């Protein structure tokens, strides 16, 4: 065998895998990135204003937030992460169950918005869920001063069971009386209505003339709906004109969708509970008839059903009467 050919020193250098040298950092570049990570996780850490760490954090956080929004193409709820950190205040919020994550002048941080959504689904009944929706709307949507929910009672009627201020109720009463206004348009004509300046509006002349007497400068209205049904309207008011910026529109769209989902889920649970209660009551009435008339469960059911049709009374009401009074409306008259 012949020995391998000799390789010159220059050629051997060319054949070696190149390793990338790390350029030395000035001013602790790695420390800046670590402080950004720690700032995101700590949230409540206070950094003295004017310090180099505070300047680095503000610059890097703003750059990261802008890059995130550009890279993913998704909605960024907060202008930058520095703002998100500033909105974590130690005061109590309306119903979030912990420290408030929101600020009236800014959109909620991603963490804050997640906490808001979770709290919407935490209430045990419909009334409490509605109240939570309007309370959190004021602290979640930038610029909002008052909020209310109007529910669809019939094909042509809306009712406002909850609101954060009587101004909302008075505005809704005006719309129902005059037959025009933002809530009605959101319900019947579209999903979203924005009125930047009530005094300059010609869209609803009758409503605008009457509502000008109220401390309302601008408003946003969102239809509350799911894939299966329309539930009502969430309407947000501001005392000053032009109070709702683009940020408020984006947050309002997302918040109203989450509110509609929470409202629909609560209604579904309530319907299931009523169905279970009704089934239990009917079962008890069947048992009474079975014992009294020595019949089978199927015979007792048929007797209840026939009596409901003959008396033009709902089956659940008939069963409840039997269980409460012991009377037997299914028995033939003497």
- If we measure between CA atoms, which residue out of 123, 129, 136, 166 comes closest to residue 151? 129
Query: Can you tell me the mean pLDDT for 265-291?
Result: 89
CATH 1.10.10.10 in the chain is located at: 271-325
Instruction: Assess contact for 64 and 94: CB atoms under 8 A.
Output: no
Beta strands in the chain (DSSP E): 146-154, 157-163, 192-195, 218-225, 230-238
Dist. CA 214–CA 330, nearest whole Å: 58
Q: Are strands 218-225 and 230-238 parallel, antiparallel or unpaired?
A: antiparallel
Q: Which residues contact 12 (CB under 8 A, 6 or more apart)?
A: none
What is the DSSP secondary structure assignment for residue 4, as one 8-state letter?
A: P
Question: What average pLDDT score do residues 249-256 get?
Answer: 93
Ranges 92-101, 165-174, 264-273, 291-300: which has the least confidence: 92-101
Mean pLDDT of the chain: 74
CATH 3.30.450.40 residue ranges of the chain are: 141-260
pLDDT the model gives residue 100: 39
What residue spans of 157-199 are helical by DSSP H?
A: 166-178, 182-188
Lowest mean pLDDT among 132-141, 151-160, 188-197, 266-275: 151-160
The pLDDT tens digits for 102-145 are 445 567 788 888 899 898 988 888 899 999 999 999 999 999 99
> How far is it, in rounded angstroms, from Cα 217 to Cα 238?
6
pTM above 0.85, yes or no: no
Q: How confident is the model at residue 271 (pLDDT cuts 50, 70, 90)?
A: confident
The CA distance from 119 to 88, in Å, is 17
Q: How many helices (H) and strands (E) does the chain have?
A: 12, 5
The pLDDT score that the predictor gives to residue 270 is 84
Second CATH level (architecture) for the domain 271-325: Orthogonal Bundle (1.10)
pLDDT for 328: 82
pLDDT digit string, tens, across residues 52-103: 444 443 333 333 333 333 333 333 333 322 223 333 223 334 444 433 344 4
Stretch 33-54: mean pLDDT: 41
Percent of the chain with pLDDT over 70: 66
Q: How far is CA 114 from CA 77, 90, 274, in A?
A: 11, 17, 31
Looking at residue 154, its pLDDT comes to 67
The model's pLDDT over 15-28, given as tens digits with 9 standing for 90+, comes to: 455 555 555 444 44
For residue 9, name the pLDDT band (cuts at 50, 70, 90).
low
Q: What's residue 325's pLDDT?
A: 86
Give me the DSSP letters along 82-141. HHHHHT--SSB-SSSSSB---BTTBPPPHHHHHHHHHHHT--SSHHHHHHHHHHHHHHHS
Q: Say what the pLDDT of residue 44 is.
A: 41
39 or 22, which is more confident? 22
Residue 53: in which H helix or E strand, if any? helix 52-72
Task: Return the CATH class of domain 141-260.
Answer: alpha beta
């Amino acid at each position: 065998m012949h020995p391998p050919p000799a390789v010159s020193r220059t050629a051997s250098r060319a054949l070696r895998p190149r390793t990338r040298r790390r350029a030395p950092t000035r001013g602790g570049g790695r420390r800046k990135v670590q402080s950004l990570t720690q700032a995101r996780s700590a949230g409540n850490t206070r950094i003295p204003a004017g310090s180099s760490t505070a300047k680095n954090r503000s610059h890097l956080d703003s750059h990261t937030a802008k890059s995130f929004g550009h890279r993913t193409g998704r909605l960024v709820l907060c202008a930058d992460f520095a703002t998100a950190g500033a909105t974590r205040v130690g005061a109590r919020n309306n119903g979030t169950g912990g420290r408030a994550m929101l600020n009236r002048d800014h959109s909620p941080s991603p963490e804050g918005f997640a906490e808001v959504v979770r709290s919407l689904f935490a209430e045990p009944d419909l009334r409490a869920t509605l109240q939570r929706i309007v309370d959190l709307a004021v602290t979640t949507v930038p610029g909002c001063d008052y909020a209310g929910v109007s529910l669809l009672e019939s094909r042509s009627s809306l009712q406002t069971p909850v609101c954060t201020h009587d101004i909302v109720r008075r505005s809704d009463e005006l719309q129902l009386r005059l037959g025009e206004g933002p809530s009605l348009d959101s319900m019947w004509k579209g999903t979203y209505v924005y009125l930047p300046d009530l005094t300059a509006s010609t869209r609803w002349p009758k409503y605008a003339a009457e509502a000008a007497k109220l401390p309302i400068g601008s408003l946003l209205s969102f239809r509350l709906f799911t894939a299966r049904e329309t539930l009502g309207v969430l309407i947000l008011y501001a005392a000053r004109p032009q109070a709702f910026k683009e940020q408020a529109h984006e947050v309002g769209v997302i918040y109203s969708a989450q509110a509609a989902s929470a409202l629909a889920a609560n209604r579904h649970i309530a319907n299931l509970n009523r169905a279970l209660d009704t089934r239990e009551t009917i079962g008890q009435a069947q048992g009474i008839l079975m014992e009294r008339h020595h019949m089978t469960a199927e015979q007792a059911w048929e007797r209840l059903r026939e009596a409901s049709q003959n008396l033009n009374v709902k089956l659940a009401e008939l069963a409840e009467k039997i269980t409460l009074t012991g009377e037997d409306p299914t028995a033939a008259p003497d």
